[in-house]
Amino acid sequence: MECIFCKIIKGEIPSYKIYEDDKTYAFLDIACDSYGHTLVIPKKHCTNILDCDEEYLKATIATAQKISRHFVEKCGFEGVNVLNASGVSAQQSVFHLHMHVIPRKAGDGIDIWALKDKKELDLEEICKKLKI
C-alpha cells in the first residue's frame, strides 16, 4: 500500500507545492498549525532518516536549507525551525521521511521547545554510552 506522501509526489493527491527538483518535493502542511509550515520529502520512498539512502537524505537536507534561506532572504521571516521525527517513539505520524521547515518571526507565539525542565543527568556517563 502506497503512503500518502508517495501519492502526493505522483500527483494523485493535490498539494500546495513550494518547490520540486529531481530528488525532492516540498509542500505546505495541511495541518495549518503555523503560517508557511512546509514539509520537505525525498521522491524515493524511505520510512525515515534511519533507512534513507545517503544520496536522497543529502538532497532532502539541501532542499530544506534552500527553502529555509528563501523564507528568510525573500519572504520576510527572521529564522526557521527544521525538525524531523524518526520512529513511533519520536512521534513520527507519516512513515515517509519528511523534514518540517517552520518559518519564524519574533513574537509569533510558537514554542517548539517543549523540553524546558533541566534534568539531573551524568553527562560523562551518557557520553561514554553514546560515543561512536
Which residue numbers are catalytic? 98
Short-list 15, 61, 68, CA closest to 42: 61
Task: Let me know how long the chain is.
Answer: 132
Instruction: Name, in order, each residue with C-beta under 8 angstroms of 43's C-beta and a sequence gap of 6 or more.
Output: 9, 22, 23, 24, 25, 56
